[in-house]
Amino acid sequence: MTWILKKRYIKIMSKKSQNRDTLPVSKNISYSNIDITNSQRAKIKNQNPCCIWLTGLSGSGKSTIANMLDKEFYRLGKHSFILDGDNIRHGVSSDLGFSREDRQENIIRIGHICKLMTDAGLIVIAAFISPDRKIRDFVKSNIYKNKDFIEVYLDTDIETCIKRDPKNLYKKALAGEIKDFTGIDAPYDIPLSPEIILDTDKYSAKECVEKILDVILNNNK
């Protein structure tokens, strides 16, 4: 794809993101019936599929907690998979930039991918800053229909995130090398009613994982 075509495509997708609620659906498209039900897929895996949506500032511990949580599920014989922001940007959302509209479109795409994976019987761990509350709520209510979606807010002071700065992104943002960086010159909407709130200044990554597991495993009994 040439640079000009890619730029036009990004512009089109951004407009779609802004007007997603009012986009017309073709009359020639319908849902295909699948004989094996979601509950049958869950039963054979002996688990209740769900999406664990980790949200918080860069440096709040999302990737660390996601990987530790995934290892625990593996140890327990559960079928889980991580969707991580950087990995998605290399493929599914490689055509998107970092404008507000493109970020919104990125999260909506991820939400649909997560839903397909939970329908397949998996426990999905989604680790994304996802700063826009409206879009997170869209994923929860419109894509997941307020079912099997567990929002986990990693509540971490911006000062702590800046100190951690594992990718030197805050350093670049504060130096003006990165524009519209969440927490510096772009907003982060704090979740209003997440299922789990974890103060990563107070709790270690291991303790955070244990608290998430307590909720998930109780749901999987």
What backbone phi and psi angles, to 5 degrees, belong to 19?
-110, 25
Give dist(CA 212, CA 196) in Å, integer. 8
The residue with tokens 């897929």 is: 41
Tokens for 45? 């895996």
Q: Is 20 left (phi over 0), alpha (psi -120 to 50) or beta?
A: alpha
Q: Which of 30, 39, 130, 141 is catalytic?
A: 130
* Catalytic-residue membership of 32: no
Q: Which amino acid is at 120?
A: A
- CA end-to-end span of the chain: 49
Residues 6+ apart with CB under 8 A from 5: none
| Tokens representing residue 211 in the block | 């608290």
> Rounded CA gap, 148 and 217, in Å?
13
Contacts of residue 108, Cβ cutoff 8 Å, sequence gap at least 6: 17, 20, 135, 138, 139, 143
Active site residues: 130
